[in-house]
Amino acid sequence: MPCYPVGRITALQSFSFRNALIMSKEEVILQSAAHSDSSTGRSSSGVGLVITGLLGGAVVGLYAATAPFVAPALRKVCLPFVPATTEQVQNVFKVLRARTGTLADIGSGDGRIVIAAAKHGFKASGFELNPWLVCYSRYKAWREGVHHSTSFHISDLWKVSFAQYSNVVIFGVPQMMDQLELKLASELPSTAKVVACRFPFPTWVPEHTAGEGIDTVWVYDAKTFKSDQQHGTT
Ligand SMILES: C[S@@+](CC[C@H](N)C(=O)[O-])C[C@H]1O[C@@H](n2cnc3c(N)ncnc32)[C@H](O)[C@@H]1O
């Protein structure tokens, strides 16, 4: 190492140290800026991905939850979920009070008719298009202790045969009742009874009615409507 007078060494050293310090400060600033750019870039793109994922999940979840409720309204015959009133349910079992055996609720909604039927001693089944309502009905039947005498099926009412049922309940809409008359008349045994809630069948003659206004129910005897259909009276 060369030997310099003390004063000179100090001047040179001070110049090069300052320079070195300035350089390293700039480098540090540049490096840390580059580092923070890349790290915030990474973290902000990560946050973006999480937000996009959450939004996507929320949209898919919302669609899955609501589509089964909207779908019936988009079919050729629009039959939305409108639960029976308490009076309506009572009227159904008033007109079926002398009856036992199997019962089907066509379009069983949240399962209230099926559950009430089980409590009245029927072996009851619900047929419903909406899977959420079927899950809810099964849960409610279990909670109310009637799961052994009830069953719920995710099915399209037009694709199911009701031939094995001796009691059938329908809370339909007027646009479907003429088609349903033909289906039930051809499938049901002559010992069956059919109860229509809120909207009657267009050509069948009811045996009895119960309730009034929106709570009205009509009960029909299969022997009568089957023979009327055979003889072309309806
Ligand atoms: C008016 S609500 C009656 C609900 C229940 N029976 C009651 O009285 O509380 C009609 C139900 O039929 C269901 N539904 C509509 N179209 C259907 C179809 N093609 N097959 C089976 N169920 C259907 C709807 O999802 C709705 O829950």
Q: Please tell me if the CB atom of residue 128 comes closer than 6 angstroms to any atom of ligand 1.
A: yes
CA 157 to chain centre: 17
Q: Please tell me if the CB atom of residue 117 comes closer than 6 angstroms to any atom of ligand 1.
A: no
152 beta partners: 126
Q: Output the pLDDT for position 1.
A: 40
HEC sequence for the chain: CCCCCHHHHHHHHHHHHHHHHHHHHHHHHHHHHHHHHHHHHHHHHHHHHHHHHHHHHHHHHHHHHHHHHHHHHHCCCCCCCCCCCHHHHHHHHHHCCCCCCEEEEECCCCCHHHHHHHHCCCEEEEEECCHHHHHHHHHHHHHCCCHHHEEEEECCHHHCCCCCCCEEEECCCHHHHHHHHHHHHHHCCCCCEEEEECCCCCCCCCCEEECCHHHCEEEEEHHHHHHHHHCCCC
Which residue has its alpha carbon closest to ligand 1 atom 6?
108
Give the CATH H-level superfamily of domain 86-230.
Vaccinia Virus protein VP39 (3.40.50.150)
For the cut 60, the answer to whether the pLDDT of residue 11 exceeds it is no
Q: Please tell me the distance between residue 130's alpha carbon and the centre of ligand 1 in angstroms.
A: 8
| Closest ligand 1 atom to Cα of 197 | 8
pLDDT, tens digit, 9 for 90 and up, residues 88-118: 999 999 999 999 999 999 999 999 999 999 9
Q: Domain residues of the chain, as ranges?
A: 1-74, 86-230
For the cut 80, the answer to whether the pLDDT of residue 176 exceeds it is yes
Q: Please tell me if the CB atom of residue 195 comes closer than 6 angstroms to any atom of ligand 1.
A: no
pLDDT, tens digit, 9 for 90 and up, residues 205-218: 999 999 999 999 99
Q: Please tell me if the CB atom of residue 109 comes closer than 6 angstroms to any atom of ligand 1.
A: yes
pLDDT, tens digit, 9 for 90 and up, residues 116-166: 999 999 999 999 999 999 999 999 999 999 999 999 999 999 999 999 999
Q: Please tell me if the CB atom of residue 79 comes closer than 6 angstroms to any atom of ligand 1.
A: yes
| Closest ligand 1 atom to Cα of 69 | 25
C-alpha to C-alpha distance for 125 and 152, rounded to whole angstroms: 6
Q: Please tell me if the CB atom of residue 206 comes closer than 6 angstroms to any atom of ligand 1.
A: no
Residue 164 CB coordination number (10 Å): 13
pLDDT band at residue 41 using 50, 70 and 90 as cut-offs: low
- Most ligand 1 atoms within 8 A of CB, residue of 69, 76, 129 to mutate: 129
For the cut 70, the answer to whether the pLDDT of residue 2 exceeds it is no
